[in-house]
Structure 1
Amino acid sequence: MSRVVQFGKWLTRWFTVVVVVWAIINFFLPQTSMWAKSYTNYFLSIILFGMGMTLSIEDFKRIVKMPLMVIVGTLAHYIIMPLLAVALCKIFHLDGMIAVGVILVGCCPSGTSSNVMSFLSRGDVALDVSIGLLSTLCAPIMVPLLMSGLASQYVQIPVTKLFLTALEVVLIPVALGVAVHAIFGNRVQKVTVALPAVSQIAILVIIGVVVSVNNAKLFTVETAMVLPVVMLHNLCGYGLGYLFSRLMFKVYPKGFRYAQQKAITFEVGMQDSALGATLALQAFAANPVVAIPSTFFSVWHNISGSVLSSWWRRHDDDYAIAADSQHGEHSSAKTPESAQPAAVPSAS
């Protein structure tokens, strides 16, 4: 098991590079991952089952203990990112299934990689995990609802298929994972230490499938604008998430302090792109191009999140800003317990 843990740490460190290399392999050798086309929902279920196994009753209690911040953060995510996706599609004149793919990734819940970025930047990881959990649990309702309202202008949205797929790959695996944790308690830690490696391998399989099935369309005139749009989507999500959290600080300064502002910034800007790709391949099977924006997002938001978290940490060190400061003012107080890392599965 120690070798698996070491491999997981290595894969986490070099994940972005591995993703790029893996994507190149599948681009030139599309048969590499084509076998898994019909099984992407199972691979995502494995990831979310693992997420459920890392959750305890305390994680759910935390939502009850800080309902305002968790609910507000979740609402911000589900308002800012979908509307931002629609706006970018209009600005860059995206149409058809490509626009549907951009909006789909915008309607997804926040990705678990935001938990890692929040920890690295000394943000409030507990709040980050709570918002991510609530947004994920809401996904089977929110994704079909938002897609039917925002993307139906481009194509008829299979609302029922989206709902059933999200229910199958999100709620059921998470619920089973939580049940396993509740039954076996701390004994699940013998297994959860391997989750980073398992989760990232599952993500690689999903990315490989998307690249393989879109081999002929990945770099065409039709998809030329997807990468810059995805980059802007993510970066604007960070910016608007941070501005929103600063505004909430003026309304409720006790709850939306500096560490919470960092958490909300990452929670708004980072998406569960693996879910987006899986929903695209399952609900829009005849048009796999819908999954391309989610795949690009998966690579890009890990790069941007790492850069932003590193910059934020260095900035705070340079200006002697403590993690528990009100709004980024100089302080020498100790980093609060809420900013300590929580057990989470690998980035998606």
Structure 2
Amino acid sequence: MQAIQRFGSWLTKWFTLVVIVWALVNFFLPSTSMWAKSYTNIFLSIVLFGMGMTLSIEDFKRIVKMPLMVILGTVAHYLIMPLLAVALCKVFQLDGMVAVGVILVGCCPSGTSSNVMSFLSRGDVALDVSIGLLSTLLAPIMVPLLMSGLASQYVDIPAGDLFRTALEVVLIPVVLGITVHTVFGEKVSKVTTALPAVSQIAILVIIGTVVAVNNEKLFTRETAMILPVVMLHNLCGYGLGYLFSRVMFRIYPQGFRYAQQKAITFEVGMQDSALGATLALHAFAAHPVVAIPSTFFSVWHNISGSVLASWWRRRDDKYQIPADSHDGKRPAQASQPSKLRKVS
């Protein structure tokens, strides 16, 4: 088990690089992951079952203890990212299934990677986990609802398929994982140490499958604008998430302090792109290009999130800003006593 744990730590450290290498392997050798096309929902269910096994009643108590911040953070996520996706499709004149793919990843709940980035930046990890949990549990309702309202201009949205797939791969596995944790308690701790490695391998399989299925369409005129749009989507998500948290800080400064602002920034800007890719491959099976934005997002938001978390941490260290800072401003310099000139 220690070997698996060490492997999981190594994979977490180098995950972005591994994703890029794995994507290249599947681009040049698509047969590597083509076999998994029909099983992506199972692999994502494994990830979310593992997520459920790490949750306890305390995680739900946190939502009750700070409902305003959790609810507002979740609302911000489901408001900012979908509308931002629609705006970017308009600005870059994306159409058809490519636009549907961009909007789909924008309608997904926040990704588990945001928890890591919040931790690295010394953000409020408890708030981050709570928003991620609530947004994930709401996904079976929110994703088809938002897609029907925002993407129906491009194509008929299979809302029923989206709901059933999200229910099967999100809600049921998470609830089962929580149930297992509740029933067996500390006995599952030996298993949960292996979960990071298992989850990341499952996500790699999903990414490899999307790249393999879209091998001939990945870099064409039709998909040329997806990467810059995905990058802007993520970066603008960070910016608007931070702006939202700063506005809320002025309204409710006791709740939206510096650490909470970091958590909300990552929760708004980072998406569960593995869910987006899985929903695309199943609800839009005839158009696998819909899954490309989610795949690009999966690679990019890990890069941008790591950079932002590192910058935030270095800034705090440089200006000696404590993790529990009220507003994140530099501490006031001690005033120097003025020198009195001697009078001869």
TM-score by length of 1: 0.95
Aligned partner of 2:44 in structure 1 is 44
Shift of 1:331: 5.1
Aligned partner of 1:143 in structure 2 is 143
> Superposed, which structure 2 residues align to 1:54-133 within 5 Å?
54-133=54-133
Asked whether the equivalents of residues 56 and 182 of structure 2 are also in contact (C-alpha less than 8 Å), the reply is yes
The 1-side partners of 2:123 and 2:24 are apart by 34
Output the amino acid matched with 1:195: L
Aligned partner of 2:255 in structure 1 is 255
Aligned partner of 2:336 in structure 1 is none
Asked whether the equivalents of residues 111 and 273 of structure 2 are also in contact (C-alpha less than 8 Å), the reply is yes
Aligned partner of 1:179 in structure 2 is 179
Aligned partner of 1:340 in structure 2 is none
The 2-side partners of 1:24 and 1:261 are apart by 36
Q: Deviations over 1:257-277 (max 9, x none)?
A: 000000000000000000000
Aligned partner of 1:152 in structure 2 is 152
Aligned partner of 2:308 in structure 1 is 308
Q: Which has the larger radius of gyration?
A: 2
Aligned partner of 1:272 in structure 2 is 272
Output the amino acid matched with 1:146: L
Moved over 2 A (4+): 329-332
The 2-side partners of 1:216 and 1:330 are apart by 51
Aligned partner of 2:318 in structure 1 is 318
Match of 1:292, SS? helix
The 2-side partners of 1:3 and 1:204 are apart by 20
Aligned partner of 1:2 in structure 2 is 2
Asked whether the equivalents of residues 16 and 303 of structure 2 are also in contact (C-alpha less than 8 Å), the reply is yes
Q: Deviations over 1:142-196 (max 9, x none)?
A: 0000000000000000000000000000000000000000011011110000011
Aligned residue pairs, count: 332
Asked whether the equivalents of residues 273 and 295 of structure 1 are also in contact (C-alpha less than 8 Å), the reply is yes
Shift of 1:137: 0.2
The 1-side partners of 2:236 and 2:315 are apart by 20
The 1-side partners of 2:212 and 2:116 are apart by 29
The 2-side partners of 1:312 and 1:146 are apart by 32
Q: Which ranges of structure 2 fall in alignment gaps of 5 or more residues?
A: 333-344
Q: Deviations over 1:238-286 (max 9, x none)?
A: 0000000000000100000000000000000000000000000010000
Shift of 1:128: 0.2
Output the amino acid matched with 2:314: R
Match of 1:35, SS? helix
Q: Which ranges of structure 1 fall in alignment gaps of 5 or more residues?
A: 333-348
Shift of 1:45: 0.1
Aligned partner of 2:194 in structure 1 is 194
The 1-side partners of 2:303 and 2:98 are apart by 23
- Confirm or deny that 1:205 pairs with 2:193: no
Asked whether the equivalents of residues 210 and 292 of structure 1 are also in contact (C-alpha less than 8 Å), the reply is yes
The 2-side partners of 1:141 and 1:156 are apart by 18
Shift of 1:200: 0.4
Asked whether the equivalents of residues 109 and 132 of structure 1 are also in contact (C-alpha less than 8 Å), the reply is yes
Aligned partner of 1:344 in structure 2 is none
Output the amino acid matched with 1:189: S
- Confirm or deny that 1:291 pairs with 2:291: yes
Output the amino acid matched with 1:242: Y
CA RMSD of aligned residues (A): 0.8
Asked whether the equivalents of residues 322 and 330 of structure 1 are also in contact (C-alpha less than 8 Å), the reply is no
Asked whether the equivalents of residues 77 and 109 of structure 2 are also in contact (C-alpha less than 8 Å), the reply is yes
Asked whether the equivalents of residues 325 and 331 of structure 1 are also in contact (C-alpha less than 8 Å), the reply is no
Aligned partner of 2:11 in structure 1 is 11
The 2-side partners of 1:63 and 1:100 are apart by 32
Output the amino acid matched with 1:293: P
Asked whether the equivalents of residues 144 and 162 of structure 1 are also in contact (C-alpha less than 8 Å), the reply is yes
Aligned partner of 1:243 in structure 2 is 243
Shift of 1:329: 2.4
The 2-side partners of 1:110 and 1:331 are apart by 33
